[in-house]
Amino acid sequence: QVQLVESGGGLVQAGDSLRLSCAASGRTFSSYVRGWFRQAPGKEREFVAAIRWTPEITYYADSVKGRFTISRDNAKNTVYLQMNSLKPEDTAVYYCAALSRSYLRLAEAGNYDYWGQGTQVTVSS
């Protein structure tokens, strides 16, 4: 059974930083793409960032480029999302996901095979 578990969300003020973690278990993910998505109330789930495992290549949504950084720890099978200069519009539930068919479009939520339960990030102005 594949499991993805997010942690690290919380309530912060605009301009603050947070680091989200996504720990994977149950399967070797060396060939997977790992992604972060977010969903604000009343909005569709949107792509935030993704990282290919081998070779390591990162991708970002334009809205977070330069502020967010996705990274990985191979030994822990964990992916991180470092979020700096947070804005109120970053408020959402953040989900991590894993994609086994890496040739598919990475920014499309429907292509991902596994999802975590989500962690709330709230940024106050």
Lowest mean per-residue pLDDT among 27-31, 100-104, 116-120: 27-31
Closest CA relative to residue 27, chosen from 85, 93, 86, 113 = 113
Q: 29, 51 in Cβ contact below 8 A? A: no
Residues with Cβ < 8 Å from 43, sequence gap 6 or more? 92
Residues with Cβ < 8 Å from 41, sequence gap 6 or more? none
Confidence of residue 2 (pLDDT cuts 50, 70, 90): confident
Higher pLDDT, 121 or 31: 121
pLDDT of 80 over the 70 cut? yes
pLDDT of 9 over the 80 cut? yes
Q: Which residue has the tokens 């070797």?
A: 28
What is the tens place of the pLDDT at every residue in 18-76? 999 999 988 766 668 999 999 999 999 999 999 998 788 999 999 999 999 999 998 88
Q: Residues 122, 113, 59, CA angle at the centre, nearest 5°?
A: 60
